[in-house]
């Protein structure tokens, strides 16, 4: 047999351990001495297909056969040699000869055929069936998905158009499959879809030409693109669609088609739009109300002040007391309106920041100078401890001053006796400011609420109220806009310390 | 002449309290309730200073300020702008139109009088827009007066 005939060293071979029985049909070409034809058959659950060449003369039992056999799952032909064990000739009608042949096959090591055969053997699967099965399964997956999906092949013909896609576009799979009319589901004029561009291996420039700034590369799938657009011709009134198109590749990486999934985001867009409008209306309302309030407030405030300071004639002690009360409350109202507007601006990102290189120690010194008298009136010891040679960092001096004033104000307001100390320090890549007081402290359960807007904690032991509940919320926003952090530590009966840090590098928020 | 101040605001109550304060501080005060009468009175009366509200029906304060600065007779009159729009609009635009400073409503009368005094004094020396003192207190923040951007 062949083992004996071809004992060449490097030619390893693998032997099918049983015969492959092949039924083959040979188209007889009379003038040629060689018959060629297609063969196909199954042995040991391996399906083979191929072309064979047989010399007419040798077509008898025992003659050698040269076969080129294709395994369906592999495009490379496998060169096999075998031996005709027996043959039978059947005369057919149109000059076709039918042979039934048993061949014992050997394969010689050409490239990785060796590996290939041994891969197949243990599987004992009918490759063709496996393939058909997997194709069917793929179809079912696409069909069964509730996400509108279609697939095109490398000739841009539609191969899949699932139920969800039918109901989204209103066009049946029947009308689509096997055609290149996929564009008509989305546009009124013919133009390529994202899948077509991918199959055509379009350049980034071409894609941008069709989708402008509405598309981007998928972050998840290599070679895929996603886009969002409004399609006037989809549905009754048009639809916003979000779609992702990804290439389908063969084992060698060649593009053999593309798949596109679509998402109807019309409703989301509508909700987003009305939410945005509602936010805008709310902002405008707050803005308008605050402005409208300021004008009468200005008149009230001045009118009270004029009477109170005696400019309009003398007043008695009791009158003065009540006017003081009125003034205090007008001032409080003014602060509330101011803070509400500030917070509104911060929330809408409309607050302007004037970021410049500044020295935090200078800010602290300024505050110490302006607020010492207030602390003195309350009988508190107000001091500062500054770290030498802090780097100048970029921040909005007015805004950071506002934060510190707010914290120090609170400290002074809530501390009955003892001290308020501002310290500055340097941490890793940041500058830290801390304000420590010897006040009543804040209960642990209240700490998380502290920076929420409109939160005011119950005053300790009948202490003073009168803030707006926005001061710390604003402070937090301001510090965070500087990419800093603000936090608080407190112990009941011992006092409270507010800390905030500002980064040394890279400021703009 | 230089101690005459024109107060322009469509709210008569605001005009009234400002008038009272300014008269008390020793200034002569005339009032105007809109942009047009402001422009007319500025020409006729040649005040030493104009305190001008921004939000007014008809021509708004910014426009009035611009027109004042374009008028031959009025271009040298310093203008203090009063606004409830603190921080809402780009105030530097107003400063470009020639205002000396901005004061937000509700104002602090001490700040306002101090500005008035400085500007009028500066006017006598031929200077304008002297650097103002720094005041820090919550809810009473004066807005940037240019040069901060």
Distance CA B54, CA B75 (A): 18
N-terminal to C-terminal alpha carbon distance within chain A: 83
Interface check A351 vs B, CB under 8 A? yes
Single out the residue of B62, B72, B17 nearest to residue B35, CA to CA: B62
Q: 3-state class of A508 per DSSP?
A: coil
pLDDT at site A337: 82
pLDDT at site A267: 92
CB < 8 Å to A338, chain B = 138-139, 141
CA nearest to A334 within chain B: B139
CA nearest to B9 within chain A: A295
- Percent of chain B's residues with pLDDT above 90: 43
Is A352 within 8 Å of B87 when comparing Cβ atoms?
Answer: yes
CB < 8 Å to A287, chain B = 88
What would the mean pLDDT of B132-149 be, rounded to a whole number?
A: 38
CB < 8 Å to B18, chain A = 302
β-strands A89-91, A78-83: how paired?
Answer: unpaired
For residue A74, the number of C-alpha atoms closer than 13 Å in the C-beta half-sphere is 19
pLDDT at site A336: 81
pLDDT at site A89: 46
Q: Which tops the pLDDT comparison, A139 or B131? A: A139
Interface check A334 vs B, CB under 8 A? yes
Burial class from Cβ neighbours inside 10 Å (0-12, 13-18, 19+) for residue B101 reads: buried
Q: What is the DSSP letter of A379?
A: T
Is B139 within 8 Å of A339 when comparing Cβ atoms?
Answer: yes
CB < 8 Å to A297, chain B = 105-106
What angle (nearest 5°) sits at the alpha carbon of residue A86, between those of residues A82 and A90? 115
Is A295 within 8 Å of B105 when comparing Cβ atoms?
Answer: yes
* B103: confidence class by pLDDT, cuts 50, 70, 90: confident
Distance CA A117, CA A370 (A): 90
Strands (E), A390-429: 393-395, 419-427
Interface check B147 vs A, CB under 8 A? no
How far does the CA of residue A201 sit from the closest CA of chain B (Å)? 49
Q: Is the pLDDT of residue B44 over 50?
A: yes
If phi > 0 it is left, if psi is from -120 to 50 it is alpha, else beta; for residue A104 that is beta
pLDDT at site A54: 59
β-strands A89-91, A96-103: how paired?
Answer: antiparallel
pLDDT at site B107: 85
* Residue A244 parent element (H or E): strand A239-249
In whole angstroms, what separates CA A379 from the centre of its chain?
Answer: 56
Count contacts between A and B (CB, < 8 Å).
80
| DSSP annotation string for A190-211 | ----HHHHHHTT--HHHHHHHH
Interface check B57 vs A, CB under 8 A? no
Which residues, 6 or more positions from A485, have their beta carbon under 8 angstroms from its beta carbon?
A479, A500, A501
Report the predicted TM-score, pTM, of the whole model to 2 decimal places.
Answer: 0.50
* B29: confidence class by pLDDT, cuts 50, 70, 90: very high
pLDDT at site A67: 56
Interface check A355 vs B, CB under 8 A? no
CA nearest to A303 within chain B: B17
pLDDT at site A432: 94
Q: Please state whether the peptide bond connecting residue A215 to the residue before it is cis, i.e. omega within 30 degrees of 0.
A: no
Tokens 């020295």, residue located:
A359
Partnered with residue B61 across adjacent β-strands are: none
Single out the residue of A70, A80, A77 nearest to residue A41, CA to CA: A70
Q: 3-state class of A457 per DSSP?
A: coil
What angle (nearest 5°) sits at the alpha carbon of residue A331, between those of residues A282 and B7? 90
Q: Residue A193 in contact with residue A257, Cβ under 8 Å?
A: no
CB < 8 Å to A402, chain B = 138, 141
pLDDT at site A363: 92
Is B13 within 8 Å of A303 when comparing Cβ atoms?
Answer: yes
How far does the CA of residue B63 sit from the closest CA of chain A (Å)? 20
Q: 3-state class of A67 per DSSP?
A: strand
ipTM of the complex: 0.72
Tokens 């603190």, residue located:
B86
Interface check B138 vs A, CB under 8 A? yes
pLDDT at site B146: 41
Distance CA B63, CA A23 (A): 99
Distance CA A397, CA A394 (A): 9
CB < 8 Å to A299, chain B = 11, 13-14, 16-17
Q: 3-state class of A178 per DSSP?
A: coil
CB < 8 Å to B105, chain A = 294-295, 297-298
β-strands B49-53, B79-83: how paired?
Answer: parallel
Is A306 within 8 Å of B17 when comparing Cβ atoms?
Answer: yes
CB < 8 Å to A296, chain B = 13
Interface check A338 vs B, CB under 8 A? yes
Interface check A91 vs B, CB under 8 A? no
Burial class from Cβ neighbours inside 10 Å (0-12, 13-18, 19+) for residue A395 reads: buried
pLDDT in tens, chain A (509 residues): 344 444 333 333 333 433 444 444 444 555 555 555 555 555 445 555 556 555 555 555 455 555 555 554 444 555 555 544 444 444 444 444 444 444 444 443 344 333 333 333 333 345 556 777 778 888 888 888 999 999 999 899 999 999 999 999 999 999 999 999 999 999 989 999 999 999 998 888 889 889 888 898 988 888 899 999 999 888 888 899 999 999 999 888 889 899 999 999 999 999 999 998 888 888 778 777 777 888 888 999 999 999 998 888 899 999 999 999 999 888 888 888 888 878 877 877 777 788 889 999 999 999 999 888 888 888 899 999 999 888 999 999 989 998 999 999 889 988 888 999 999 999 888 999 999 999 888 888 888 788 887 666 555 444 455 566 778 888 998 999 899 999 999 888 889 999 999 998 754 44
Interface check A349 vs B, CB under 8 A? no
β-strands B28-32, B4-8: how paired?
Answer: parallel
Is A297 within 8 Å of B85 when comparing Cβ atoms?
Answer: no
Give the CA distances from residue A391 to residues A182, A366, A367, A388, B18, in Å, rounded to whole numbers and listed in that order.
63, 18, 19, 9, 46
How far does the CA of residue B84 sit from the closest CA of chain A (Å)? 6
Single out the residue of A110, A92, A89, A93 nearest to residue A101, CA to CA: A89
Is A295 within 8 Å of B84 when comparing Cβ atoms?
Answer: yes
Considering only residues 91 to 130 of chain B, which have any Cβ-Cβ distance to chain A shorter than 8 Å? 105-107, 109
Single out the residue of A65, A62, A63, A58 nearest to residue A24, CA to CA: A65
How far does the CA of residue B3 sit from the closest CA of chain A (Å)? 20
């Amino acid at each position: 047999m062949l083992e004996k005939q071809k004992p060449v060293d490097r030619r390893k071979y693998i032997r099918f351990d049983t015969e492959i029985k092949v039924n083959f049909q040979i188209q007889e070409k009379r003038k040629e001495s060689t018959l060629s034809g297609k063969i196909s058959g199954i042995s040991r659950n391996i399906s083979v297909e191929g072309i064979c060449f047989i010399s007419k003369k040798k077509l008898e039992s025992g003659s050698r056969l040269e076969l080129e056999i294709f395994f369906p799952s592999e495009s490379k032909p496998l060169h096999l040699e075998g031996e005709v064990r027996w043959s039978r000739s059947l005369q057919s009608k149109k000059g076709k000869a039918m042979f039934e042949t048993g061949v014992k096959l050997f394969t010689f090591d050409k490239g990785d055929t060796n590996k290939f055969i041994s891969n197949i053997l243990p599987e004992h699967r009918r490759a063709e069936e496996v393939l058909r099965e997997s194709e069917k399964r793929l179809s079912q997956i696409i069909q069964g998905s509730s996400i509108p999906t279609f697939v095109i092949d490398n000739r841009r013909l539609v191969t899949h158009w699932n139920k969800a896609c039918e109901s989204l576009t209103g066009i049946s799979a029947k009308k689509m499959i096997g055609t290149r009319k996929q564009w008509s589901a989305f546009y009124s004029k013919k133009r390529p879809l994202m899948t077509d561009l991918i199959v055509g291996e379009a350049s980034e420039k071409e894609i941008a030409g069709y989708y402008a700034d509405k598309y981007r590369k998928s972050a998840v799938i290599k070679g895929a693109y996603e886009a969002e657009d409004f399609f006037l011709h989809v549905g009754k009134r048009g639809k916003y669609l979000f779609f992702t198109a990804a290439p389908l590749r063969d084992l060698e990486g060649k593009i053999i088609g593309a798949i596109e999934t679509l998402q109807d985001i019309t409703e989301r867009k509508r909700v987003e739009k009305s939410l945005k409008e509602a936010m805008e209306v709310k902002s405008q309302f707050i803005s308008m109300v605050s402005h409208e309030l300021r004008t009468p407030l200005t008149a009230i405030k001045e009118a009270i002040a004029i009477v109170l300071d005696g400019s309009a004639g003398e007043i008695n002690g009791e009158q003065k007391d009540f006017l003081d009360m009125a003034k205090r409350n007008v001032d409080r109202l003014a602060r509330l309106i101011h803070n509400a507007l500030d917070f509104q601006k911060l929330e809408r990102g409309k607050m302007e920041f004037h970021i410049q290189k500044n020295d935090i120690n200078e800010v602290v010194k300024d505050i110490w100078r302006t607020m010492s008298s207030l602390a003195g009136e309350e009988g508190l010891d107000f001091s500062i401890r500054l770290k030498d040679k802090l780097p100048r960092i970029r921040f909005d001096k007015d805004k950071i001053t506002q934060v510190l004033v707010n914290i120090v104000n609170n400290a002074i307001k809530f501390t009955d006796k003892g001290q308020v100390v501002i310290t500055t320090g340097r941490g890793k890549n940041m500058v830290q400011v801390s304000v420590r007081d010897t006040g009543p402290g804040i209960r642990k359960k209240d700490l998380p609420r502290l920076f929420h807007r409109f939160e005011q904690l119950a005053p300790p032991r009948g202490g003073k109220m009168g803030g707006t509940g926005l001061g710390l919320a604003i402070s937090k926003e301001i510090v965070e806009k500087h990419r800093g952090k603000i936090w608080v530590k407190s112990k009941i009966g011992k006092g409270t310390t507010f800390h905030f840090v500002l980064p040394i590098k890279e400021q703009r928020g | 002449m230089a101690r005459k101040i024109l107060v322009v605001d469509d709210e008569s109550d605001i005009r009234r309290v400002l008038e009272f304060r300014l008269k008390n501080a020793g200034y002569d005060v005339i009032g105007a309730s809109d942009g047009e009468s402001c422009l007319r009175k500025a020409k006729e009366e040649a005040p030493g200073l104009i305190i001008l509200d921004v939000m007014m029906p008809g021509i708004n304060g910014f426009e009035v300020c611009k027109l004042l600065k374009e008028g031959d007779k009025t271009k040298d009159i310093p203008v203090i702008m009063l606004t409830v729009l603190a921080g809402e609009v780009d105030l530097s635009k107003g400063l470009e139109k020639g205002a000396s400073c901005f004061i937000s409503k509700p104002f602090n009368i001490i700040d306002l009088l101090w500005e008035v005094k400085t500007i009028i004094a500066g006017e006598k020396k031929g200077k304008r827009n002297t650097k103002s003192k720094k005041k820090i207190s919550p809810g009473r923040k004066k807005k940037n007066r240019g040069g901060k951007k």
